[in-house]
Amino acid sequence: MAYKSLELFAGAGGLALGLEQAGFEHIGLIEFDKYAAETLRYNRPTWNVLCEDVEVVANRDLEKEFDVKKGELDLLSGGAPCQSFSYAGKRLGLEDIRGTMFYHYATFLMKLQPKMFLFENVKGLLTHDGGKTYETILNIFEDEGYKTVYKVLNAWDYGVAQKRERLITVGIRNDLSNKISYSFPQKHKYKPVLRDVLQDVPNSECAKYSKSKEAIFALVPPSGYWKHIDPVIAKEYMKKCWDMGGGRTGILRRLSYDEPSLTVLTTPQMKQTERCHPEENRPFSIRENARIQSFPDEWEFKGNISAKYKQIGNAVPCNLAKEIGISIISKLKEVEENMYDLDFISQENFEKHVANTIKEYKDVLKSIDITKFNRNIIDPIKLLFDKNVFRTSFEEIIDIELHRQRDKSNNNSIGYFHQNIFKYINNCTVPKQGWDVIVKIPNEPIIYVEMKNKHNTMNSSSAQKTYLQMQNQILHSPNDICYLVEVISKCSRNISWGCSVNHNHLEDERIRKVSIDKFYEIVTGDKDAFCKLCMQLPKTIEKLISNSNDLSVQQDTVVDGLKNINPDMLKALYLLAFNTYEGFNSLG
């Protein structure tokens, strides 16, 4: 199953690609920068990329724009640029931050109410404006109905050859937060270094240093910086920075193949944050930076060289995004699994009842021999037509007939399931004889139930008999109600049941025809109770059957028995069905 996501401030696609690799399907990506949007469209022509101002998009009907209903989107992702807010000594709400980039992110959250959101940003957001900015952001997430967790993650811990820290905030909608709790992905034991990712890198554009800077970098060893060269040369290069104090380890910094990269930046030639190639006297190339950011080689970046460096430097590393995406999907799966928890019957009783129903199948699984096969006398002429019309063999037609006979017997087992489950539901009893179910809800009329698997299983005589039984019940107990509950009904309904008895049409509001979903709603108070049961049922059946060793269909002997009658299968069928008819004895 693909989980639906929508991304704001998508950039060149690092976060989006990682989430796609984790299993998300993007229904939309919004990116204002034309080169970044072109990159997205080129690499994923099927993605719905909007190269627009996020504020403009936020003001539209988002459900219509992205063809998703409020509450159904699985994930909203992205990271708004950091901006200060005007406080005036109060806790701010959404309207107080109108006009900021985060306001637009929060607007999407408010309008679409996704199940979860992923908000990524720089580590510095934690301390921005004395921590007030992030505090306001968390408060607004809470106001919009989300429980949040946050953590600073280092990409190096998640398969990225780069020390790059990002503040990751994950939110779970309040109605789901009591079902799941989010945990950030576990750190990888193995941490890659540049040597691991810079093998056989494709040729690409690369920024250059001036000749004088190249000459100075030639003096710097791997893992070294300005302190590792002649102080006179370093002082001349650093100029005013020499007297500023501090480590300033970013100046004249050459990386080593045996260490991870420092944070990949948007411009490769800034003096304060230089990252020189481990062996050559140059910055990293476009494709080298992309490798360090864990982009695949086939992911192409559009625009001029400056635009490409900027796109790569702004991106969330794909491998980090993938790990976060996998952890989020695991929680969305838990939401699905817990969505259909049954609160009207204990898990123990539900499993017990399903197990008892499975036991009802055991007789059906027994081997069928030729005597049992012909108990109701099969029709060989029908089987002959079936064989030829469906262009198959007698063996296959007989196998279908065996399945039909078993299926007919199964109806009793399914009737057992639908009726006897009410033994375990509050206010319900299942008498040994008489009514199928009796419901006694405090301060409510008693309900007497006759249950049918299908709406068309009652002939006229049976319907009259059942109706008269119900009529007799309400005549003796005027406050009671009688239900004919249909498991397979024409539609969901709770209507008065009119019936023709001795050519007279009888109808009483206290005698009703009720579909099984409506009956469950009446009994449990939950309109989705029957749906939840149906969604929980396959998992429970699978669990019980996988733990059982005696639920296999035994080998049938019908075909062998027919061959013993006559090697010609058609003659054998004729002799089985028509052995007392005139003329058929000669076939033997």
Please indicate, yes or no, if residue 554 is contained in any of the structural domains. no
Residue with tokens 């063999």: 393
Residue 526 and residue 401 share a domain = yes
How far is the C-alpha of 500 from the C-alpha of 506, rounded, in Å? Answer: 6
Listed in sequence order, the residues at least 6 apart from 37 whose beta carbon sits closer than 8 Å to its beta carbon are 10, 31, 49, 50, 51
410 and 283 in a single domain? The answer is: no
Provide the 8-state DSSP code for 311: H
Residue 200 sits in the same domain as residue 60: no
Dig out the tokens for 173 from the structure. Answer: 């909608």
Residues 295 and 214 in one domain: yes
- On whether both 36 and 182 belong to a single domain, the answer is yes
Specify the residue for token string 């008892």. 356
Strands 428-429, 437-439: parallel, antiparallel or unpaired by DSSP?
Answer: antiparallel
82 has catalytic annotation? yes
- From the list 143, 151, 157, the residue with the least C-alpha distance to 170 is 151
The answer to whether residues 144 and 265 belong to one domain is: no
Q: Hey, what are 87's tokens?
A: 């406080």
Whether 437 and 324 share a structural domain: no
Indicate the number of domains in the chain: 3
198 with 165, same domain?
Answer: no
Residue 581 lies in a domain: no
Q: Which tokens in the block code for residue 422?
A: 């009410």
Q: Is residue 560 part of a domain?
A: no
90 and 143 co-located in one domain? yes
The pLDDT tens digits along the chain (588 residues) read 689 999 999 999 999 999 999 999 999 999 999 999 999 999 999 999 999 999 999 999 999 999 999 999 999 999 887 666 554 455 655 565 666 888 899 999 999 999 999 999 999 889 888 888 899 899 999 999 999 999 999 999 999 999 999 999 999 999 998 878 899 999 999 999 999 999 999 999 999 999 999 998 899 999 888 788 888 887 877 777 776 655 566 788 899 999 999 999 999 877 778 899 999 999 999 999 999 999 999 999 999 999 999 999 999 999 999 999 999 999 999 888 777 678 899 989 999 999 998 888 877 778 888 888 888 788 999 999 999 999 999 999 989 888 888 887 777 778 889 999 999 999 999 999 999 999 999 999 999 999 997 655 678 889 999 999 999 999 999 899 999 999 999 899 999 999 988 888 999 999 999 999 999 999 999 999 999 899 889 888 888 887 766 656 567 888 888 899 899 988 988 888 888 888 887 777
The C-alpha atoms of residue 160 and residue 528 are separated, in whole angstroms, by 46
What is 225-244 written as a DSSP string? Answer: -GGGS-HHHHHHHHGGGGGS
Q: Which residue is catalytic, options 82, 206, 318, 428? A: 82
- Same domain? For 18 and 142 the reply is yes
Instruction: Decide if 47 is inside a domain.
Output: yes
β pairing state of 481-488 and 447-454:
parallel
Question: In this structure, are strands 165-173 and 116-122 parallel, antiparallel, or unpaired?
Answer: antiparallel
The neighbouring-strand residues paired with 151 are 168
CATH assignment at residue 261: 3.90.120.10
Expressed as residue numbers, the domain containing 38 is 3-191+317-338
582 part of a folded domain: no
Q: What stretches of 421-568 show up as alpha helix (H) in DSSP? A: 460-476, 516-524, 529-546, 558-565
Residue 577 lies in a domain: no
CB within 8 Å of 571: residues ≥ 6 apart: 565, 587
Note the pTM of the prediction, 2 decimals: 0.68
At which residue do the structure tokens 């910055």 appear?
283
> Does residue 37 sit in the same domain as residue 136?
yes
The answer to whether residue 227 is domain-embedded is yes
Q: Assess if residue 454 is contained within a domain.
A: yes
β-pair type (146-154, 24-30): unpaired
Q: Output the domain CATH number for residue 153.
A: 3.40.50.150
Are 532 and 408 found together in one domain? yes
